[in-house]
Chain A
Amino acid sequence: MSNKKTPLSTWTRRDVLKASAASTAIAGAPMFFSRHAYGADFLNAPTGDTVTLGFNVPQSGPYADEGADELRAFELAVEHLNGEGDGGMMNTLQPSALKGNGILGKKVAYVTGDTQTKSDAARASAKRMIEKDGVVMVSGGSSSGVAIAVQGLCQEAGVIFMAGLTHSNDTTGKDRKANGFRHFFNGYMSGAALGPVLEKAYGTDRRAYHLTADYTWGWTQEASVQASTEAIGWSTEQKVLTPVGAGDFSQYITPILNSEADTLILNHYGKDMINSLTQAVQFGLRDKQVNGKDFQIIVPLYSRLMAQGAGDNVKGIYGSTNWHWSLEDEGSKAFVKSFGAKFGNPPSQAAHTCYVQTLLYADAAERAGTFEPCQLGKALEGHKFDGMGNGPTEYRAEDHQCFKDVLVVKGKDNPSSQFDLLEIVEITPRAQVEYAHDHEMFAGGDLGSCNNGA
C-alpha cells in the first residue's frame, strides 16, 4: 500500500466533527483545545519553543525494571538532544542532521506514563499524552501486545509511534501501521540468526522440544525458530503450549525427560523464562544424555535483565539479542560510556533501542524539516544509517522494520562482574536475517495510509 495522503475524502465529515466538538466544548472550553490550534496542519503541532515527546513504559508489574531502564535511556536521549551531557551516540550517528539544540530548534520536553504491561492501561496512558500533554510522538513498551495496541492508537490519533522492546513478528507484520516504526529485531530474525550458530555448535541431527508461552508472541517465535532449526536438519519432537505466568513449570518439564528430544527450546520471556529455565536446570536436563548427545537448552530471546533473574542457570545457553553493552563499535562504546557515567550501570538492550528510536525520530524531524507525522515518516522510510551500535541499518519502507545485524549470545561461564553475564558468539550479518516484507510469517498486514490527526 502506498502512503498517499487522502485527507480529502474525509474532509467534510471531519468538518462536522470539529463543529460539533467545538460547540460542545464552548461550555467547557477546556484548555487542551488551545493546543489543537485549528489552523495547524497536524495534531499537536508544537507552537511554543518546546516539543513534547511521550515515553510510555511499564513502571509496575513484572517488567518494571526493564521499564525503568528504558526511562533512563529516554532521559539520556533528551539530554543529548538538548545539547547537554557528552552527546552519546549523537556523535557517532552517520549521517546525522542533529544539531544539539533540541529538535528543529525547539527544546525537547517529555512526559512519562505507566503501561502496567496491559493494553488498556498503556492506551489510556498514551491517550493522556496525546490529548492532555500534546505529544507528537509516543515511544516505549516492553511487550508486543502492548506495543501493538499503542501502535494502533497512535495510528488512529495521528502521531508517530517509535516502538521500544517488542519482538513479535506481528508488530511489523500482520499488525504493521503507517505511523509505527520498529528498530528492535523480531522472532524471525532470532530464528534466522540462531540457525547457523546452532548448526555449528550442536550439529545437524537433533530433536527439538518446544515449550512455548501460549499467546501470539510465543507462537510467532515458535514458528520462526522451528522453521530455522528444521532448515538445518533438526526435527521437531514436540511443541507444548504453557499458560502465561504459570510459575511452576514442572508438569511441562517432566514429559521432556521421557521423550526422545535432546534439545529444549524455551519460547518464554521475562518471568516465565526465568522460572522455566531455572526449573529445567533443576530437573537435571543439562546433565542428561540422549542418544549419546548432551542435552541442550536454547532461549531464543535473551535479555541481560532476564539473565540476572535466572542466575547461574544461563551459563552456556545460546540465545539472541538486539544489542549488548560489550560491543566494541564506536556507537556502542559512546552510549555505554555516557549511560554508565550517568546511571552507574550498563544499558540493557531495551534501553538501547529506546535511546536509538528517540534519536532517529529527532533526526528524521530535522531532515523532514517538520514534526508533521507523514513527512517525518517519509524521512524514516528507507533511511540508511550507521553508528548506532548495530552496524549499517536500514528502516525498510515496506513494513517500517529496521534491518541490521543480529547478535547471537551465550550465557558466560565466568562472569567478571554482575553485569557481565552474556558473551557475544556471533554477529549474524543482516543479509542472513532478511526476509521479504510479504513473507508468510508477516503476511496479511497493511501499513494503510499515514495519519497526521488533522
Chain B
Amino acid sequence: MNKSGLSDWVLFFCFAAAVLTMPLWLAPFGANYPDLMQKFAIFGVFAIGFNILFGLTGYLSFGHAAFLGAGSYAAIWSYKALTMNVLPAIIFAVIVAGIFALLIGFVSLRRSGIYFSILTLAFAQMSYNLAYSVLTPITNGETGLQLTLSDPRVLDAMAGVAVTSSLPNPNIFGIKTSGLPGFYFCAVVLIIGFFIALRITRSPFGMMLKAIKSNQTRMAYTGFNTRPYLLWAFVISGMYAGLAGGLMAVTDPLAGAERMQWTASGEVVLMTILGGAGTLVGPVIGAALIKYFENIFSAFNKFELQQVFSFLPEGIQDVVVSVVSMFVGKGWHLTLGLIFMIVVIFLPGGIMEGVRRIARVFGLGKKKITEPASVANSQQGQVNG
C-alpha cells in the first residue's frame, strides 16, 4: 500500500511537471502557443473525467458533450449576469453540469451496455438540436452565446468596475485569463483534476467501480446495489465535463451548440480509447494528440510545404509535396483516421500500451510505472464492456 502510494506521488509530480513545462518542451513541435496548450489542458480535464466513468465502470457514454456544452453556457451566463471573474463562472459550470448529469444519469443508468450508450446519445442530441434552434433565446443558437456591451453584470456593476466601450475580458481578480495566464490557469485545474481522479481511482469507491466493471451480475447477486455508485461516477464525470466546458469559457468567452453534438461526444470517446481507457495519463495523451492533429496538421498548406521541401530538386519536390499534402491541410482527417487504425491494431490498450512496452524494453518493469497494472486489470474487464 505504501509503495503504491509513493509511486502515485511520483506519477503525480511527473505529470504536474510535464504539464507546467509545456511551453518549453512543446516548442520543437510548434505547439507552444497559448490556445493549443489551453486546449490540451481543457480536453485533458474532459478526458480524465470521461475515463472515471468509462475506464473504471466500463459504461460507455455517448453523450458527454452535453455536459461540456451545459458547462460552457452556464459559465457565459455567469459572465453576462454576474461578473467577469472566472471563479463563479467555473463553479456554476460544474454545478449546472452536475445537475444535468444527475438527471440524465438517473434515467440512463436504468439500462446498461449499448442501451445505456444510446440513451445518453439521445439526451445529448436532443440538447444539441434544441440549443441550436428552439432554445436560441438562451443559447443564441448557431452564432453561439457571446458577451455583449449591454450585459448587466450585476456584481461587477456593484463593485464599480468601469464600463468601457470594448467588451470586458474574463479575469481572475484582475488578471486576464486568455493567453499564457489562461493556460497556466487551465494547467493548474488539470493538475488538480488529475489528482482527484488519482485519489478516486485508488479509493474504495474506485475499487467498487472497477468491481462493477469486471462483473456486475456477481456484484448484484451479493446483494449489492450498484446503481448509486454508478450514478456517482456518472455525475462526477459529468462535472469534469462541465469543468472543461467552463474552462473553455474562461479562455474564450463564447459557447456554441455544436459543443453538444454527437461528434463532440464521440471525440472524447476516441481520445480516451486512443490514449488508453482505464489508465490515468492515457486519456490526457489521447486528448492532446487529437487536438494537435486538428490544429497543427490542418494548418499546413502548399506554400509552407514547398518551403519545407525546398532542399529537394524541383521535380522530386513537386511529387513529395503533392503526396504529403494528401495527409496535411485539408487531408488532416486522413492522417487522423490512419492513426486511429494503427494505434488500435498494433497497440491494443491505446498509447499507454506503447509506453508500457517501451518501459519494458528499458527494464523499468512494473515498479516504477504503476499504470500498466491497472491497464492489465481493466483490459480483462473490457472484453465484456
Contacts and interface: CB of A to CB of B under 8 A. Distances in A.
Contact of A125 (B176, B298, B304): B298
A27 interface: yes
A20 B175 contact: yes
B27 interface: yes
Given A24-B181, A120-B258, A448-B166, A128 B36 contact: yes
B259 A30 contact: no
B179 A215 contact: no
A276 B33 CA distance: 43
B155 to A, nearest CB: 18
B133 A241 contact: yes
Most B CB contacts (10 A, CB to CB) among A4, A75, A120 go to A120
A119 B33 contact: no
Contacts of B248: 120
B55 to A, nearest CB: 25
A10 interface: yes
A448 B27 contact: no
A215 B256 CA distance: 12
A119 B162 CA distance: 30
B193 interface: no
B357 interface: no
A124 B164 contact: no
Given A13-B174, A27-B24, A149 B143 contact: yes
Contact of B141 (A31, A127, A156, A215): A215
B295 A30 contact: no
Given A145-B256, A170-B143, A448-B149, A114 B332 contact: yes
A127 B294 CA distance: 13
A149 B248 CA distance: 14
A188 to B, nearest CB: 17
A110 B303 contact: yes
Interface string A1-34: 1001010011001001100110011011011100
Contacts of A109: 303
Contacts of B167: 155-156, 448
Interface in B21-42: 21-24, 27, 30, 32-36, 39
A25 B180 CA distance: 8
Contacts of A30: 23-24, 27, 32-33, 180
A215 B32 contact: no
A175 interface: yes
A389 interface: no
Contacts of B140: 216
B30 A156 contact: no
B180 A217 contact: no
A127 B143 contact: no
Given A118-B256, A145-B142, A446-B149, A24 B184 contact: yes
A151 B320 CA distance: 36
A148 B39 CA distance: 21
Contacts of B258: 118-120
A59 interface: yes
Contact of A6 (B165, B169, B176): B165
A241 B130 CA distance: 13
Nearest to A59: B330
Interface residues of A, number: 62
A451 interface: yes
B33 A214 contact: no
A59 B176 contact: no
Contacts of B162: 9
A121 B294 contact: yes
A161 B167 CA distance: 16
Contacts, number: 168
Interface in B123-139: 129, 132-134, 136
Nearest to A71: B301
A243 B133 contact: yes
A153 interface: yes
Nearest to B291: A124
A113 interface: yes
Given A119-B256, A216-B141, A152 B298 contact: no
Contacts of B24: 27-28, 30
B259 A16 contact: no
B174 to A, nearest CB: 6
Nearest to A168: B143
B312 to A, nearest CB: 21
A21 B164 contact: no
A59 B329 contact: yes
A26 B166 CA distance: 30
B164 to A, nearest CB: 6
A451 B141 CA distance: 26
Nearest to B184: A24
B344 to A, nearest CB: 22
Contacts of B181: 17, 20-21, 24
B144 interface: yes
Contacts of B298: 59-60, 113-114, 125
B368 interface: no
A112 B256 contact: no
A6 B180 CA distance: 24
A9 B179 CA distance: 21
A123 to B, nearest CB: 6
Contacts of A120: 248, 256, 258-259
Contact of A17 (B141, B166, B175): B175
Contacts of A451: 166
Interface string B342-361: 00000000000000000000
A123 B254 contact: yes
Contacts of A127: 33-35, 252
A243 B141 CA distance: 12
B347 to A, nearest CB: 26
A111 interface: yes
Contacts of A128: 33, 35-36, 295, 299
B165 A1 contact: yes
B117 interface: no
Contacts of B252: 123, 127, 153
B34 A131 contact: yes
A144 B329 CA distance: 23
Interface string B277-299: 00000000000000000110011
B27 A119 contact: no
Nearest to B146: A152
Contacts of A124: 35-36, 39, 294-295
Given A21-B179, A114-B330, A118-B258, 18 more contacts: A16-B174, A17-B176, A27-B23, A28-B24, A60-B333, A68-B330, A114-B299, A119-B143, A123-B254, A124-B36, A125-B299, A131-B34, A153-B254, A175-B143, A243-B129, A448-B165, A449-B166, A451-B166
Q: For the complex of A and B, list the 8 residue pairs with the smallest distance between their C-beta atoms, beginning with the closest.
A: A28-B23, A59-B330, A127-B35, A132-B33, A215-B142, A145-B142, A114-B298, A214-B133
24 contacts: A9-B162, A10-B164, A21-B179, A28-B32, A30-B32, A31-B27, A60-B298, A60-B333, A71-B301, A112-B301, A124-B294, A125-B298, A127-B35, A144-B143, A145-B142, A145-B143, A152-B254, A155-B166, A175-B146, A216-B136, A216-B140, A217-B142, A448-B167, A449-B166
